[in-house]
Amino acid sequence: MEAKRQGKIQLTRFFGLTSFISISVTSLLIIIFIRGLIVSSVEEISEQGNSTLTRAAVSFFSDELNAFIEQAEQNGEEDAAAQMVSYHLRRHIHDLLRETSVVRVKIYDWSGRVIYSTKPEQIGRMQEGNLGFAAAISGNETTRILYRDTFNLFDEETAEDNLVQTYVPIHTPDKSNVIGVFEIYSDINDQIKDAGASVAGLIIGVVVVMVILFGILLFNIKRAERIVEDKQRENRERQHTLEVLSSKMLTAQEDEKKRIANELHEDVVQTLVAVKFHLESQLQQLSNDTDSSKDEPEQIVKVLQDAARKIRAVAVDLRNPSLDDFGLRTTVDSMVKEYSSVSDDLNFVASVQIPENEIPLERKTIIYRILSETLTAICKLGYSEGTIKIDLMQSPEGMKLGIETNWRDEIGNDDLGAVDGFGSMREKTILSGGDFSSVRNDSGSVTRQSVWPN
């Protein structure tokens, strides 16, 4: 029972652990995939919005930008360039910073020099190696996102906010040449927070769903386990019922045989014996008669003696009275001597190692019937010389009856339990609730075992 319980626990643990790992991996993959979609969507929307805003700003005050870049190139001094920003351009930039999410604006001339920045300390720096500037001065707009704590090599500082930066080329009034680059940094902290909240909600939702799913799986595993246990219990009960019925059937057969044997022995045999004595008495009275009258009673006596012997043999075969009178050990010893006298080529050896009072009466009957039918079949089949060893002992598995044989005719037979003479042993063992097995020993002999659990 403990072994079965351990098996059940290991089964639940296996399926539970497998389900948990599978659900966890699936949840992680779902979260990573959807998080990637959310972040990608936020980045795309932010980049498109900032790009549109930057293009609109450049288009709206392009005249002021062209004039400012031209004057800055003519002046050539960084501080003066900062002072040359016209009133309208300053106002436009101020409105852009106040009314939108823009947090920083920079203007580059054609050489990559910062000629204007909302951070004055950046004015005059050369950023010709900036890839965003390089793309824009070539006429290509570029946009990228800077996440918080990301170091900006060209601004020589670490971003404290999540920003999206867009570089847009500034063309001459006739659109023939690019004379500078306009850059805008926009704050996307709110978008990132919303995305983070969406991802957090997603994680919570997925975890809740997977926990519910895992609970349902565990419930189904437990339910399936209970169903299997119920079926196994029903099968065990049915098997037990069959074993009880088989045992009762064998016991009933033995009781009936015992009754018939007693009737034959106590009634018919006694009657025949009385007739025999009566005829013998009559024979003595007729001893003075002629020889012809004397022969007939003698023949009758012989017939009656033979009939009594046969009836007694039948009674013993039906139910050996020594089994009730002297016990199993004495009966087995007597049986071995009898079969040894019948067969000159086979040597029978028996050993009963269980006390008589520890063997139930119905078990004695089954063992006696197995030995009687098996040994009779062996003698009738005429196996060549060999030894037949019978052992009855108590083992941890239960009461064990073993019949070991080593005759030459058996060597090479694969189906050891199907050898002629042992079919009855297997059948009666199983019907009485035991287990039958056959094994070939290292010495070449074969042992058939019947084991009845304690």
Task: Assess contact for 405 and 368: CB atoms under 8 A.
Answer: no
SS3 261: helix
> CA quadruple 210, 37, 186, 53: dihedral positive or negative?
negative
Local confidence band at 286 (pLDDT 50, 70, 90 cut-offs): low
pLDDT in tens, 330-365: 888 888 888 888 777 788 899 999 998 888 888 888
- Work out the number of other CB atoms within 10 angstroms of the CB of residue 148: 12
Instruction: Write down the domain spans for the chain.
Output: 64-187, 320-453
pLDDT in tens, 219-250: 888 888 888 888 888 888 878 777 777 777 77
Local confidence band at 1 (pLDDT 50, 70, 90 cut-offs): very low
pLDDT of the residue at 81: 44
Selection from 341, 368, 375, 338 nearest residue 352 by Cα? 368
Say yes or no to pLDDT of 191 above 90: no
**213, 240, 368, 385, 437 from 8: Cα distances, Å:** 22, 22, 40, 51, 28
Residue 99 CA to its chain's centroid (Å): 64
Q: Which two tokens stand for residue 172?
A: 């001459």
Selection from 78, 86, 171, 90 nearest residue 126 by Cα? 78
- 302 vs 191, more confident: 191
Answer whether CATH 3.40.720.10 is correct for domain 64-187: no
- Work out the number of other CB atoms within 10 angstroms of the CB of residue 3: 7
pLDDT of the residue at 267: 66
Say yes or no to pLDDT of 427 above 90: no
Selection from 125, 235, 254 nearest residue 183 by Cα? 125
**225, 314, 376, 431 from 231: Cα distances, Å:** 10, 46, 42, 22
Task: Assess contact for 366 and 250: CB atoms under 8 A.
Answer: yes
Our CA angle for 222, 226, 229, nearest 5°, is 135
Region of 345 on the Ramachandran plot (φ > 0 left; ψ -120 to 50 alpha; else beta) = alpha
With tokens 């006390």, the residue in question is 355
Say yes or no to pLDDT of 77 above 70: no
pLDDT in tens, 145-160: 877 654 344 444 445 5
Answer whether CATH 3.30.565.10 is correct for domain 320-453: yes
- 112 vs 43, more confident: 112
